[in-house]
Structure 1
Amino acid sequence: MLCAIYKSPRKAQTYLFVKTRDDFSSIPDGLMKTFGTPVLVTLINLATKEKLAMADLDKVKKNLNEQGFYLQLPPPQEDLLKEHKAAMNAKNEQGEL
């Protein structure tokens, strides 16, 4: 299964996988407006891949077959301050501080 991968010029680390190069007919209008004008990154054969770097291969294939596209969003940013505060609160509750 061949697919084309495009990046968004508006949203960092946001990618759109489509079955056919330059065919965005299956993409909802609202998504295309938010995504911006797609910039081609690469063409890949999913049949020869065992895994993808930032997406679940089976989910990508399923979405391509059912919806005609797959949208890869960036991973959530770590909130190190929130994690530190949670760790400090846990230590306070255990009487370690």
Structure 2
Amino acid sequence: MLSAVYKSLKKIDTYLFIEQRDDFSKVPEPLLAMFGTAELVTVLNLSTKDRLGIADINKVRAELAEKGFYLQIPPPPENLLKEHLAKLKEQGKLSEKYNK
């Protein structure tokens, strides 16, 4: 199973996997508009891969087979302040001012 992988020049760390190079016919128009200019990154043989960077390879294969494309978006950024405050609250070290 071959897949062409494109990166968005509009959305950082957003990638689009499609079945055939330069064939965006199965990708919905609103998604293409949001994605912006697509730059080819690579062509992968997903049949010979066990894993991908951050995407679940089985989900990529399934969505390619079902929909003809897979959109990989970056994970949400970490909120270190929120995590720190939660840890302080858990430890009982958070002042009443912030304990909401």
- TM-score when normalising by structure 1: 0.93
Q: Which residue of 2 aligns with 1:31?
A: 31
Matches of 1:65 and 1:79, distance apart in 2:
35
Tell me which residue corresponds to 1:40. Answer: 40
Offset of residue 37 of structure 1:
1.4
Match of 1:59 in 2: 59
Matched length: 93
Tell me which stretches of 4 or more aligned residues in structure 1 moved more than 2 Å. none
Quick one: distance in 2 between partners of 1:88 and 1:51? 37
> Separation in 2 of the partners of 1:77 and 1:9?
19
Give ranges in structure 2 of 5+ residues lacking alignment: 94-100
Deviations, residues 19-60 of structure 1 (Å, cap 9, x unaligned):
000000011111000000110000010011011111111100
RMSD between superposed Cα atoms in Å: 0.9
Give, in angstroms, the shift of residue 17 of structure 1.
Answer: 0.1
1:13 aligns with 2:26: no
Deviation at 1:87, TM superposition (A): 0.6
**Displacement, 1:92?**
1.3
Would you say 1:83 and 2:76 are equivalent positions? no
Give yes or no for the alignment of 1:72 onto 2:72. Answer: yes
Deviation per residue, 1:61-94 (Å, 9 max, x gap): 000000000000001111000000001111117x
- Counterparts of 2:46 and 2:17 in 1: how far apart (Å)? 11
Q: TM-score, normalised by structure 2?
A: 0.90
Partner of residue 97, structure 2: none
Letter in 1 for 2:88: M
User: What is the identity percentage for the equivalent residue pairs of Structure 1 and Structure 2?
Assistant: 54
Partner-residue secondary structure (3-state), 1:92:
coil
